[in-house]
Amino acid sequence: MSDDARPLPSATARAIARAYRPAHPLGSYWDYFYVRGKLSSDPLYPGIVDALRGTSAPVLDLGCGLGLLAHALRDAGLALPYRGVDIDAGKIARAARAATRAGLGETGFARLDLARGLPAHRGSVAVLDVLQFVPRQAHDGILDGAIAMLAPGAKLVIRTGFDDGGSRARVTRAVDVFSRVLGWMNAAPRHYPEREALCARLADAGLRVEVDSLSGDTPFNNWRVVAHAP
């Protein structure tokens, strides 16, 4: 995958976003418009779905937010059992409600602070736009825990920015800070991984590592890291 990566089609984004409409017509449409805009502008989910295609292991989504990966997987015809965890209890509740509304099978959600520990799991693991929001000292624990969860043939898929000092990195940090100011994120960015160190840690664990740009037409410094378990 490269910078020609594309987001979901607008019609698909709109269809998925319907599950995030408020229960009452006068309720907040924030999630609906966020989901619709996110899916139609960010190549994140097609890139992660593409990485998981061909696998059969259950997927644990660490820092799942509103659970959009579950919807993208089902839209692509991937019926992988899915579980999402996130520190934000409000997002978890809304993710579960949207999954129910959309009729997604074999999905589950739970609140969890990744800095304090990981749940039991065996399969593939997704860590999407998460590492920069946890303290540097927690990175190793999250990565080691995710690696230990991988079943044979499963994958660890990561989307992250890298601390490379470029203009895209500065834009990414600014937007992450703004997300915290808006209250969308529970934490400000703490530490962006270094590409060489991250890849070396995964390779030292015996995983085959691939790194591709996942910025698409956005100005952000986003990368997809796929680590294949033997």
Predicted structure pTM score:
0.91
pLDDT value of residue 29 = 96
State the chain's mean pLDDT as an integer. Answer: 91
43: how many CB neighbours lie within 10 A of its CB? 25
pLDDT in tens, 4-28: 579 999 999 999 999 999 989 889 9
Q: In whole angstroms, what is the distance from residue 101 CA to residue 75 CA?
A: 14
| Chain center to CA of 26 | 30
Q: Residue 227 in 3-state DSSP?
A: strand
Sequence-distant (6+) residues with CB within 8 A of 53 are 76, 78
CATH number of 42-228: 3.40.50.150
